[in-house]
Structures are given as structure tokens and as C-alpha cells.
Amino acid sequence: MSRFKLTVNGELQEVDVSPDMPLLWVLRDKLKLMGTKFGCGIAQCGACTVHLDGAAVRSCTLPVSAVTGAVTTIEGLAGTGDLHPLQAAWIEHDVPQCGYCQAGQIMSAAALLATNSRPADEDIDAALAGNYCRCGTYVRIRKAVHTAASFYNADAGDQG
Amino acid sequence: MNARGRMSRRELLKVTALAGGGLMLELSLNRPATAEELSTLLSSRELNAYIRIAPDGEITIYSSIPEMGQGVKTALPMIVAEEMGARWEDVKIIQAPIDESRFGLQGAGGSTSIPNNIGAMRRMGASAREMLIGAAALLMEVDRADLDARDSRVVHRSGESRTFGQLAALAAEQPVPDPEMLSFKDPRSYTIIGTAVGGVDNLVIATGQSEFGIDVDVPGMKYASYTSCPRVGGKAIRFNEAEIKGLPGIADAFILAPDDRAGRASMGFLNGLAALRGGVAIVGDDSWSVFEAKRRLDVKWDTTGASDDDWSRMVEQAKGVARKGNGETLAAGVSVDEALADPENRVHEAFYQFPYVAHVCMEPMNCTAAYRKGQGGEPDTLEVWLGSQFPAQVKEIAQNMLGLAPENVIVNPKRLGGGFGRRAVHDFATEAMAISHRAGVPVKLTWTRPDDIHNDLFRVGGFENMKGAVNPDGKLAAWDQHYIGFAKGGKPVIGSGLRGNELPQSVMKNARVRQTMVDVATRCGAWRAPGSNTNAFVEQSFLHELAVLAGRDHVEFLLEQMEPRRWVTEGNVNALNTGRAMDVIRLVAEKASWGKEMPEGSGQGMAFYFCHAAHVAEVAEVTVDADRNFRVDKVTVAVDVGPIINMSGAIGQVQGAVVDGLSTMALQQITMKDGVIQQDNFHQYPVMRIGSTPAIDVHFIQSDNPSTGLGEPALPPLAPAVTNAIFAATGIRIRSMPLSAEGFNLV
């Protein structure tokens, strides 16, 4: 067991865990942030996607000892705002079915929009290739990402 | 005034039925006038739902059916709100607790939630409306015939109105209308039913606040893993107990012996499936610690009599059975042998196979259980939290395995991170309950993904040997189908074998149907559209083979089988109606521009299927390259499930079924060797990724038939539509799934 200091959703947290423990389980079992999901444990399904300094990472295979940057989870994605544009778009397009994978989908999409605010379908497919949706909501996921992107571009007069 | 004193005989019966468990009803009837938090409460075992109207106008509707992504938590309350005249924005939906004595069957399976509940939901809404109108008539001193309920108000023809909130207290004192006398809204005046409404939990899902079973956190809770014998039927003799118990974060580890008592189920199709399997439980401080300890487990198993199932052997055995050609005859046909022997006819034979597949719900199976010893002569109690398609089954398991009376067991239903039939069976709950009972602490049991795959109740694999004849006029002359499937204890497992309502034998006279069942130890269960999801592939592919043999257009050939328009079982609105079938086939052909010129390497394929009272036709467009990489460019779907309740939910279900169908037929296969499941995780059992998603164009025929369910029936036609399209594009006929094993790679 070792002590680790983590910044999660802007708050400093201290946990006493095995250095090997993946970030996923620190978030879920120790910090009780349940929005990040367990799906496979081998970084294949993306349900556990969080941001590390803004980049999408699979928290199920990332040991807590390797976490060097600020962690953002779905609970902290909107920051001080009400909803992140992607969250609003997910609701507008009625994306979720069972809903289990959607936090991971949104986190992957948010990392994409942070670097590419006008993604083509191919960009979305590439950025979300690591996120399974067993219910098959992919059609609406693409639409919702485009809608959220148009929010970013609204100021420039481009509604996408 | 005593509310009971004014009740009719029928209403008194309702109250009597509820008095034992209907706390909320008692509360309401005893103090309707106080109305601080509850002003009106309607409740009935028959009506299967609750409505509550608060003085501030907030309308709460309880949803009693589990939500697993099929949209029932949104669709059923829409029906209630429509009939009562509520504004959807004023409605709040709460998941009802599990108590079948109050809510009736609280289960989700077989695409039955809409057809089983729509009548009750309409009666519930209409009853509330009549009581609100009755209250308004008294309050406004007007004739109730001049009142109408809309937008959460009761409106007089003069324009004067009262809000539902204002009327709630008085409405609670109105007599509950006789269900036989209720009138219902004209569908043409609907403002909610048939519109596109977003899922009621979308906000909590998109913000990570939604609580699934796996998110449950109970005070004093430990975390658990369970490792059952890799070969079904085996049990643990010993394990490296000292080493495991000495690992960091591990509190306890112990063997559990197999226990068949847990498997006894009053719902016949579930019988035996939730039995406790022999294995080793590990209890610790967090999920990671128990998973790590599980990885280091070294168990000595007793595999006497355990499964030695082997997929390769099954395939060889089935081919032998097919060559012999006998079997139990389900339908004899009229002159099948004659037609097959007639030298004038063209005859064709083909062997089809489909694999076992897993459910792989995104949320691995899990359950939290708190077994508490009774103090001072009080009985022991158990509280359970889980996502389940039939949560009341948990009480049966607790009663049979632990001897707990149902009233001492509390079941807390959670949202399901996928169901697809997997969460109809509660073997994981059996394990959690047994572990908490033994360990003496509340435990959250989470299956790893390998546990979830190895211990699945698989969609059963199988084989069909098909023969057919077409006559010189190009018409289907004979159909000879031999199903080779799997049984346990002499009974076909769920989804194996034919039921007699498959196509085309249900519409043609000269069809012979036989089946041979082989014993299997591998655990099988319900998987989205059981039976249909594989039979559609075989039957709709082979029908296309015969159309090609006859030199006929597939759509024309299919329509010909359906003539004339009729119910196949007269008087049964849940039966195949060949007119509805022809309508969706024609519509999908029109919308997909069937027969249009396709580029080199591309092709169209179509399939129709009927199941769960739904008529669905699909056209797939595929492109295949020289290396057999293929993509499905577009799928057009035409559906008749009667009037649609929630258009957004309905389109979503169809899109999801198309993706699920494609993912499964293209990529997925479970195999067994010496009784051991060979696939561990998604690297060996992939799910389709977003980049392979086709354009999906969905059309509904909202026929004047009862509304029926849509969770399953859009899946079965997908596989044959795709393989028929690949044939059109390449001339290669695929008779075995998954396509990845046939050298076709989905891109």
C-alpha cells in the first residue's frame, strides 16, 4: 500500500492503495465516483474512459502510480457549467439505451472535440473506435457529436 | 368522511387486495385531505401502476417494469399521461419497488411489455382523468359532460379551468371508475403517444449519475469475486487457501458446494438455471484486490460428470445426423418426397450452421447482497440490489436456498446495463446471496469479463439441413427442413428447435419439418429473439437460394409465398398476417429502391421475418472487395408493430437491433473444448465498433392492429439480408455464422 495524491475533477484527493491498482478502481471503490464504468479490464471496450490532462485514457489498465496529470471523469466534465455540449446533445438526440457505455463514449468524444471542433464522420469513428456500445446506438452517437461540435462553432457563425 | 364507506363493491375489492402490502394506498385513503405530499393516489393490482398528483401539479407515475435500454420506463408512462390528459413536461417517472402482489408481474422479456401493459396503462390514465373531471365538476359546479382534461388541466367548455394540482385532493375522494365503463381518447387527438420523446433517464445517464447495479454502495460492504468450475457440473475440492487469504486486501476465501435448490423456479423456462455452481469465493476490500486474488487462485476441481462439450465434435455429429436425415416430424407436408423426386423440378440441398454466442452486456453481471442475522428471535433477513429482468425471482432463490420467507427479503431493482435475455436468470445473485450468508457481511459480487463470458447462458448454436424444390413455373414446390439442435433432460434448451410458426412452413402446405435434438451440458438461455435470431438466417437465406434456383426476383418470390392476405391463425392478432407481411416487404422494396443498378462488388439482399407479433422486412446493401473485406453500407427497415408509442424509442430499438444483428453475425462465436469455453474477453469475442455502422433507414407501417413490442423483432432479418446481399455482390453463398470464420471481414 502507498499513498497517492490525485487531482480528480479539480479536487485534490489522497488514497492509500496498491501502486498497481488501476485508476478505475480508485475512482469507483475508493473515491466512490461511479460514473466511470468497468467493462472488460483490458482496455478493449472503453466504458472506463476518463481524461488525463484532457486526453482520453482507459482507466481500467492505468495503474494509479502512473497517473501524473489531472483526472477528469464524467462527473466533472461540465466543470462549473450545467452541461457539457456533448451531454446536452446526447439528451437531444436520445442517444442512450441501456446507458452503461455512454459516459465512456462522451469522454472520448469530448477529447476529440477539444482538438477538432469540426470532425467528419471518419474523425468521430476514429476517436470513438475504442468505445463499444452493445445496444448499438452508434448512429445517434455520430449525430450527437456533430450537434455538439456545431455548438463550439456557433460563435464563428458556423452551425455545422 | 370515510372513504371506504362510499366505495362500490368492485373498489372495495381493490382496496382489500392492497391492504396487506399497499402502504401508499392506506396512507392516501386515511388522510386525503391533509395532502401535504400526496394528494391523489390511485392504485390497483389490476391496473399495475401508480399515479400520484401533488398539489403543486407534479405528476408522478410509477414504472413497474425493469428498464434495460428497451425504453419501457418512458413508453409505458407516456400511455398513462396521454389518457389522463397530462402534459409530459409535468410528469416524473419513478421506478417502482419490487412487489408483485401490488404490481403484478414485474418482468421484461419476450418483447411483451407494451402488449401486456398497454391496456392497463390506458385504464389507469383514463381512471385518473375521470376522477379529476369528477372533482372539477363538483368544484366548478358544472356538468361533467362539459369538461375535458388536457395539458394537466380540466377545462370547461366556457374556457374556465383548474389545474390537476388544484383538483388533486378532491379527486382522491371521487369514486374509482368501473374499468368496464371507461372511455378512451380518440387516437387522432393524441399529443404524446406517437411522438418522439427522449428517455426519462437521459440526463442522469449523460452526467454519470445513473445508478446501475454495479454502482451500489452499502455501508459495511465488502467486495467479492467468485470462480466457478470452468467445466459445468464440476466442483471445488481444495485451493491455495493460505496464499489467497494472505494477499493484500483479502478478508476471506472459501469453497461453496453446488446447490441445486437455488435453481428451482416457478417460471418454467428459468427452472434450474440459477442453481449455485461449485466454486471458490474471495471476499476483500475492493474489486481490484479480489480480482487480483482470483487471478492467483489454484483450484483442484472434481470434474466427475462435468461437461465435456466440444464444438468441433458437435459439428461433425450434426453433419452425420443430417446425412441420415431422420428425426422427429413436426410437420409432414403433403407430398414432399414426390416433389423432391420429380425430375421436372429443380432440387437444392444445403447445410447451415450457427454458433453459440454470448450476451456480453456492457455491465458485467453483478449483485450486492446483505444477509443479516435476526436479533432476539427476529427472523434473518436479506436485502439485494441488482439489475434484473425478473427481479422477483430473487425472492424465490432466497426462499429455496436460504429458507427465507419472501417478506423477509427486500429486492432493490437497479437500472440494467444491458439485458438481452441474460438478466432473466439470476445465477450471479445466487452467488452473491450465498457469499453474504457465509461471510456474514454485505458483499458486492462483480463478475470479471471472463467470468461473464464463461458463465453466460449462451444463445444456443445449431444446424439445419435444408432441401427444396421449385417447379418448371418457378414456383416453390417443396420445403424440407431438418433442424439439429440441443436439449437438456430430453427438453430442447431455450431457442433451440422449431415452433411451427417459422417461415415459410406456416404459409405453405408442402413443407416438411423435422428435428433431432442432441444432449448438451453447456448452459443456454434466452438471447434477444430466441430461436428467431437463428431460424431467420437459415430460412430466409434458403428461400433466397430457391428464388435464385427458380430464376425469380427475391421480392416477387417472397410475396408469392404470402398470397392471399390472411391471418395464418384466424382470430389471433399475435399471429402472422400475410397481408401485413406483404405490406412491409413492398414498403422496404420501395424505400430501398429494390433492384436498382448496383456498382461492381456491391449488392442488395432482403429478408422478412415474423416474430413477437411483429412483421419486419429489411434490405441490406453491401460492398465486398477481392479480399473479402465487406461493409454494410445501408440497411432499410420496414416494420409493422401497430401504432408506435414512442417514435424516438422505436427508431432507436430498430437501429440497435440492426447493429446488434450485424455485430453478432459478422464477428461472434463461442466455442467449447473439453467442456471449457474458449473465449475469455473482447479480444477473442469482439463487438462491432462505430466505424462499421451502416446508414439505417427505418419506416413504420402504423397499422390498425394492437401495438406490440420492438425490443427483439428487428434483429432476426438482419443476418439473412446481409448474406443475401453478399451473394448478390459476389455469387458466394454464406451458410455459416459468424462471417469472420468464413473469411469475410467486416470493415
Write the DSSP symbol of residue B739: G
What does the pLDDT read at residue B178? 80
Asked whether residue B332 is assigned to any structural domain, the reply reads: no
C-alpha distances in Å from residue A5, one per residue of A138, B210, B366, B514, B575: 37, 27, 30, 67, 63
Q: Touching check for B504 and chain A: CB below 8 Å?
A: no
Residues B672 and B622 in one domain: yes
What does the pLDDT read at residue B721? 98
* Cβ neighbours of B364 in A, within 8 Å: 38-39
Q: Touching check for B660 and chain A: CB below 8 Å?
A: yes
Q: State yes or no: cis peptide before B564, omega within 30 of 0.
A: yes
Residues B173 and B238 in one domain: no
Asked whether residue B464 is assigned to any structural domain, the reply reads: no
Determine the residue of chain B that is closest to A123 in CA distance: B691
The mean pLDDT value for A86-95 works out to 98
What are the structural domains of chain A?
A: 2-76 (3.10.20.30), 85-155 (1.10.150.120)
What does the pLDDT read at residue B35? 27
Q: Per the CB < 8 Å rule, is A25 touching B288?
A: yes
How many separate domains does chain B show? 3
Q: Per the CB < 8 Å rule, is A30 touching B286?
A: yes
Of B144, B171, B206, the residue that ends a domain is B206
* Cβ neighbours of B360 in A, within 8 Å: 134
Q: What is the CA radius of gyration of chain A?
A: 16
Q: Touching check for B557 and chain A: CB below 8 Å?
A: no
Partner A, chain B 419-438, Cβ-Cβ below 8 Å: 419-420
Q: B72, B197, B204, B205: which to substitute to probe chain A, counting the most A Cβ within 10 Å?
A: B205
Determine the residue of chain A that is closest to B365 in CA distance: A39
Residues B132 and B244 in one domain: no
The mean pLDDT value for B672-687 works out to 98
Write out pLDDT tens, residues B572-614. Answer: 888 999 999 999 999 999 999 999 999 999 999 999 999 999 9
**Composition of chain A by helix, strand, coil, percent to 5:** 40, 15, 45
The mean pLDDT value for B461-480 works out to 97
How far A30 CA lies from chain B's nearest CA (Å)? Answer: 8
Q: Per the CB < 8 Å rule, is A99 touching B690?
A: no
* Cβ neighbours of B657 in A, within 8 Å: 136
Q: State yes or no: cis peptide before B472, omega within 30 of 0.
A: no
Closest CB to A42 among B206, B214, B681 = B681
pLDDT band at residue B32 under the 50/70/90 scheme: very low
Determine the residue of chain B that is closest to A144 in CA distance: B206
Q: Per the CB < 8 Å rule, is A94 touching B648?
A: yes
Residues B394 and B541 in one domain: no
Of B454, B485, B505, the residue that ends a domain is B454
Determine the residue of chain A that is closest to B222 in CA distance: A29
The mean pLDDT value for B81-108 works out to 85
Write out pLDDT tens, residues A98-113. Answer: 999 999 999 999 999 9
Closest CB to B362 among A20, A101, A138 = A101
How far B642 CA lies from chain A's nearest CA (Å)? Answer: 22
Given a contact cutoff of 8 angstroms between Cβ atoms, the answer to whether B546 and B727 are in contact is no
Local structure of A1: helix, strand or coil: coil
Determine the residue of chain B that is closest to A50 in CA distance: B208
Flag whether pLDDT at B98 surpasses 50: yes
Asked whether residue B606 is assigned to any structural domain, the reply reads: yes
Least confident of B16-25, B154-163, B303-312, B589-598: B16-25
Q: Per the CB < 8 Å rule, is B223 touching A140?
A: no
Residues B403 and B542 in one domain: no
Write out pLDDT tens, residues B515-569. Answer: 999 999 999 999 999 999 999 999 999 999 999 999 999 999 999 999 999 999 8
Asked whether residue B515 is assigned to any structural domain, the reply reads: no
Q: Touching check for B698 and chain A: CB below 8 Å?
A: no
Q: Touching check for B296 and chain A: CB below 8 Å?
A: no
pTM: 0.93
Residues B559 and B699 in one domain: yes
Comparison of pLDDT for B506 and A88, the residue scoring more: A88
Q: What share of chain B in percent tops pLDDT 70?
A: 93
Flag whether pLDDT at B11 surpasses 80: no
pLDDT band at residue A155 under the 50/70/90 scheme: low
Q: Touching check for B689 and chain A: CB below 8 Å?
A: yes
Flag whether pLDDT at B46 surpasses 80: no
- Size of chain A in residues: 160
What does the pLDDT read at residue B16? 23
Least confident of A68-82, B50-64, B252-266, B436-450: B50-64
Flag whether pLDDT at B174 surpasses 90: no
What does the pLDDT read at residue B102? 65
The mean pLDDT value for B82-89 works out to 95
Write out pLDDT tens, residues B405-420. Answer: 999 999 999 999 999 9
Residues B392 and B301 in one domain: yes
Asked whether residue B317 is assigned to any structural domain, the reply reads: no
pLDDT band at residue A158 under the 50/70/90 scheme: very low
Residues B184 and B220 in one domain: no
Q: Phi and psi dihedrals of B418, rounded to 5?
A: 100, 145
CA distance B716 to B614: 11
Q: Per the CB < 8 Å rule, is A97 touching B198?
A: no
Q: What is the DSSP string of B589-642?
A: HHHTTTT----TTEEEEEEEEEETTEEEEEEEEEEE-TT-EEEEEEEEEEEE-S
What does the pLDDT read at residue A62? 98
What is the CB neighbour count within 10 angstroms for residue A14? 8
What does the pLDDT read at residue B8? 30
Given a contact cutoff of 8 angstroms between Cβ atoms, the answer to whether B407 and B288 are in contact is no
Q: Per the CB < 8 Å rule, is A32 touching B217?
A: yes
Q: Per the CB < 8 Å rule, is A132 touching B201?
A: no
The count of CB pairs under 8 A between chains A and B is 197
- Domain range for residue B110? 9-206
CA distance B41 to B49: 11
The closest of B93, B103, B123 to B22, measured between CA atoms, is B103
Residues B168 and B241 in one domain: no
Determine the residue of chain A that is closest to B448 in CA distance: A40
Find cell 402502504 and name the residue.
Answer: B23
Q: Per the CB < 8 Å rule, is B683 touching A74?
A: no
Q: Touching check for B249 and chain A: CB below 8 Å?
A: yes
Q: Touching check for B636 and chain A: CB below 8 Å?
A: no
CA distance A82 to A87: 10
Residues B265 and B398 in one domain: yes
Asked whether residue B296 is assigned to any structural domain, the reply reads: yes
Of B421, B454, B487, the residue that ends a domain is B454
Determine the residue of chain B that is closest to A93 in CA distance: B198
Given a contact cutoff of 8 angstroms between Cβ atoms, the answer to whether A17 and A5 are in contact is no
Comparison of pLDDT for B78 and B571, the residue scoring more: B78
Write out pLDDT tens, residues B345-390. Answer: 999 999 999 999 999 999 999 999 999 999 999 999 999 999 999 9
How far A105 CA lies from chain B's nearest CA (Å)? Answer: 10
Residues B266 and B408 in one domain: yes
Write out pLDDT tens, residues B686-741. Answer: 999 999 999 999 999 999 999 999 999 999 999 999 999 999 999 999 999 999 99
What does the pLDDT read at residue A144? 98
pLDDT band at residue B17 under the 50/70/90 scheme: very low
The mean pLDDT value for B400-404 works out to 97
Q: Which amino acid is at B102?
A: R
Distance of CA A142 to the CA centre of its chain: 15
Given a contact cutoff of 8 angstroms between Cβ atoms, the answer to whether B274 and B262 are in contact is yes
User: For position B185, which CATH number holds?
Assistant: 3.30.365.10
Residues B45 and B148 in one domain: yes
Flag whether pLDDT at B48 surpasses 80: no
The mean pLDDT value for A52-81 works out to 96
Asked whether residue B176 is assigned to any structural domain, the reply reads: yes
How far A49 CA lies from chain B's nearest CA (Å)? Answer: 12
Asked whether residue B480 is assigned to any structural domain, the reply reads: no
What does the pLDDT read at residue B505? 77
